[in-house]
A and B are shown apart, each in its own frame.
Chain A
């Protein structure tokens, strides 16, 4: 309802959206039916009506029956195109998949699945969160498509992208059919990883690079164990795999003399966000090096460890720090 917004009717538009959202419960799978599809002429649709009026005047004034016929054909087309625009959305099934966590300042992706109505094509469907880029796609040759629709993540914590707007102006741009869907999707926004020096109280004493070699040097190769999903590619014994021996994972046992702690209390200066950004950077850094680390935040302690889950728990704690209980 862009023309409406331009006319200063934004408040009405917003209220209408609230109302339409309140009519349907949050759901992970939505099939678009007539009671949730709205349709109104677009600006160019009103332009078309003006054209029709001009043509009708011409027909009346010149008493020209062929101009009447021409006008009526276009008028019928106008009406029929309502059904085509509506049909372009109707029957479409939307499956809500998941939200991808991201770092502050990036775009969080939300995975959505669109299923075409049986035996029908959908062209030029536009998906958009309240903010963020619009994504336009066709659902013609394939019956189903999975898209990642992104939404800017300006702040740390849980990101609610708001209702999803699914709309189309196909086929003639005279009408815009749209629907609002409350997907209930959220994504976690981690602090932006800001490279910084590791404070003295931790392990990596002075120079990053030195710390790196030191830490890697402490790893001791233990042997191979069977591959399990979720292991980082860096740990896979590719040589063995290349020899056709199957997927194995190299086991390292870090000789941890002094445990590494990323400690909020010992972190040097800066505001809350700056501190979190620094810690976040090192969480990622240690995880890449597979260096076990612990995290200590006010009211939250994560004992030292490694692995994907460990990293995610740490990042989540950082993301939600001060926002709510973890």
Chain B
């Protein structure tokens, strides 16, 4: 068993710490303690203060750690339990590290643990850090294969730096070209507990919960200008069932296919790419109204975009939407009509009565009726995040008593009123608005942009969108949620610090947008590089085939290897820094090419004199050089160095000028002979 050097032991310690550090964010406290204690113990052994622990101590540690792991993690904790186990194993191995084989096991496991960091965190900072940690592990790996007497800590660092630097281009090629295939089997990550986001029921006040969070919902990149703020309705869910208090979806609706909701476009299409954050739910977003479903996803019930499995990782997709449209202007089927007219048998009688009254006044036409409701809202209704709680006949209470509400209250009430007079209506849940990032051309939509609005159906016109919130608080639709609620204490109450970064103007906001733009590109081009891969490859290679893919990967890899081989095997001697010896080297090389070979034992001046006889064209400077060389070498007169330098220069020039002449003469002489 080979022992490793003291420098190598220190590198093992550094590598261990570097690798486990990012996991401290989620590891149980006792494991963190072990991760700090083990290297400290090994350091004491390293310093010669303590001996290696007795086997009984090691056994006790193993038992304690196993017990701790069994108590902390259970069967369902999946990957994090595995990583915790590996980290615990690393820490224990750390203590007894002494031989090369121990170190090898430690470092290989450390590499794996470093890679698992990405299952928990994926920011640019973490990525850079983990690559750095990888560098440290490789340094440690190099250090155990060095001379056990070698204690220069820097030497392995330089070597691994060179190794990794040369590996980067090949990594890039592999990253770009290696085909991404879907998961072979599915292992859900346990760390992502339920995230905030829209849910499939909407009770009054449900959405205002979301405004407490500034968590990212999704981002949408536009190649051209984004739609106007008043057109940014991101459709996500449609609620069609009302039980007197909550709006819900029927269970079958979740799996339903898009049926007869035909879309007639009345404007030019807008195409955009959505980078959707993991929500653990099936629904996605699209601007009102999506034309066709993107690859891998489908248009479901009521023209909402859905995924077949819960979105448990960040995804991106490209959609085309028509902002001006007619949606199923034909007659509504009886079944659907019944669905969108459903109301509880009784309850909210005052609201029903008021609706009847307005319906008659509007001469049974939906449009004036809606205007009447909106006018009513414009009266003394207010838009607030913290409306009073509602009991019993919630619609009645809201319309006639509290008159305070969030978007859900207004949308729910409007849909109720419409249905009660026989106009098919439904509540649409989604997001409204988004912050435009001018640097990368995308909209950022956060959870506090969650919104609800209403669609009602009229013959000939089809489904029409109406947003009652716009009547109560036009700023909410024209501007953004954070402007409207900036003063409301309930807004962003979960992340109070987020308020600080919310300014819309000033250099701080500018800086924030720039940072977000970088992050956006990171998500789009690195973390979610997948969809773009095929486009990129098609652009580069034309029609894709297996052969082309393999060639495309082999070509650059071969080039890189050739470059590395050249760099690794080249002569790393520096050219002489002294101008005299540099000049002399050039002169000797040039003469050699002319066929004048200097014998190993021949003094320079004698050689030069010999050449001068054979080549009268350059005899003068050669003789001068010979003289100067003799003077410097034998008289040891440092004052002559300048003379020598000028002689070298003159000789170089003369040779450069006369090369062809000498060459020709020598050739002639040969021919003559």
Contact = CB atoms under 8 A, between A and B. Distances in A.
A55 interface: yes
Interface in B545-595: 557, 561, 564-565, 568-573
Interface string A53-67: 011011011111111
B60 interface: no
A76 B527 contact: no
Contact of A75 (B108, B138, B174, B189): B174
A124 B147 contact: yes
Interface in A106-141: 117-120, 123-124, 136, 138
A62 B174 contact: no
A61 B168 contact: no
B226 to A, nearest CB: 27
Candidate in A47, A57, A64, A65 with the most chain B CB atoms within 10 angstroms: A65
A67 B141 contact: no
Contacts of B138: 77, 172
A80 B119 contact: no
Interface stretch (A84-92, A264-272, A298-306): A84-92
B145 A51 contact: no
Contacts of B169: 76
B159 A171 contact: yes
A65 B564 contact: no
Nearest to B152: A140
Given A87-B568, A172-B141, A172-B142, A73 B168 contact: yes
B167 A77 contact: yes
A63 B118 contact: no
A171 B143 CA distance: 8
B248 interface: no
A176 B131 CA distance: 26
A87 B569 contact: yes
Contacts of B526: 65-66, 69
Interface stretch (B45-53, B179-187, B375-383, B600-608): B179-187
A275 interface: no
Contact of B104 (A44, A76, A171): A44
Given A51-B108, A124-B147, A73 B568 contact: no
B530 A138 contact: no
A79 interface: yes
Contact of B118 (A67, A170, A171): A67
B343 interface: no
B537 to A, nearest CB: 16
Interface string B514-547: 0000000000001111100000000000000000
B141 A65 contact: no
A238 interface: no
- Tell me whether chain A's interface is mostly helix, strand or loop, or mixed: helix
Contact of B150 (A67, A71, A138): A138
A83 B564 contact: yes
Contacts of B122: 64, 66
A136 B185 CA distance: 48
Contact of B170 (A51, A58, A80): A80
A58 B141 contact: no
A66 B174 contact: no
A91 B569 CA distance: 8
Contacts of A138: 147, 150
- Tell me whether chain B's interface is mostly helix, strand or loop, or mixed: helix
A47 B131 contact: no
Contact of B145 (A54, A60, A66, A124): A124
B673 to A, nearest CB: 37
A256 B119 CA distance: 94
A143 to B, nearest CB: 10
A73 B146 CA distance: 22
Given A55-B112, A73-B168, A172-B138, A84 B145 contact: no
B571 A62 contact: no
B175 A68 contact: yes
Interface string B306-328: 00000001000000000000000
A72 B146 contact: no
Contacts of B527: 65-66
A67 B200 CA distance: 34
Given A62-B183, A63-B180, A65-B529, A71 B115 contact: yes
A248 interface: no
Contact of A79 (B108, B134, B159, B561): B561
B291 interface: no
B130 interface: yes
Contact of A55 (B115, B186, B557): B115
Contacts of A201: none
A172 B313 CA distance: 35
A173 B144 contact: yes
B171 interface: yes
Contacts of A74: 111, 134
B130 A84 contact: no
B528 to A, nearest CB: 7
A58 B569 CA distance: 36
Contacts of A48: 108
A2 interface: no
B127 interface: yes
A118 B573 CA distance: 7
A31 interface: no
B14 interface: no
Contact of A47 (B108, B116, B134, B185): B108
A76 B168 contact: yes
B632 interface: no
B166 interface: yes
A123 to B, nearest CB: 6
A137 to B, nearest CB: 8
A239 to B, nearest CB: 41
Interface string B586-630: 000000000000000000000000000000000000000000000
B30 interface: no
Nearest to A120: B572
Nearest to B160: A171
B181 A77 contact: no
B568 A60 contact: no
A72 B183 CA distance: 18
Contacts of A73: 131, 134, 164, 167-168, 171
Contacts of A169: 145
A316 interface: no
B145 A173 contact: yes
Contacts of B270: none
Contacts of B185: 61
B114 interface: yes
A54 B82 CA distance: 13
Candidate in A44, A64, A77 with the most chain B CB atoms within 10 angstroms: A77
Interface in B205-227: none
Contact of B146 (A62, A68, A123): A123
B568 A51 contact: no
10 closest A-B pairs by CB: A119-B572, A76-B167, A76-B170, A119-B573, A72-B174, A66-B118, A73-B171, A72-B171, A87-B568, A61-B183
Given A44-B104, A83-B565, A138-B150, 6 more contacts: A51-B112, A70-B118, A72-B171, A117-B571, A124-B147, A169-B145
Interface of A: 44, 47-48, 51, 54-55, 57-58, 60-77, 79-81, 83-84, 87, 90-91, 117-120, 123-124, 136, 138, 169-173
15 contacts: A54-B112, A60-B182, A62-B187, A63-B183, A65-B530, A66-B526, A67-B119, A68-B180, A76-B174, A77-B138, A90-B569, A91-B569, A123-B146, A124-B145, A173-B100
Interface of B: 100, 104, 108, 111-112, 114-116, 118-119, 122, 127, 130-131, 134, 138, 141-142, 144-147, 150, 159-160, 163-164, 166-171, 174-175, 178, 180-187, 189, 313, 526-530, 557, 561, 564-565, 568-573
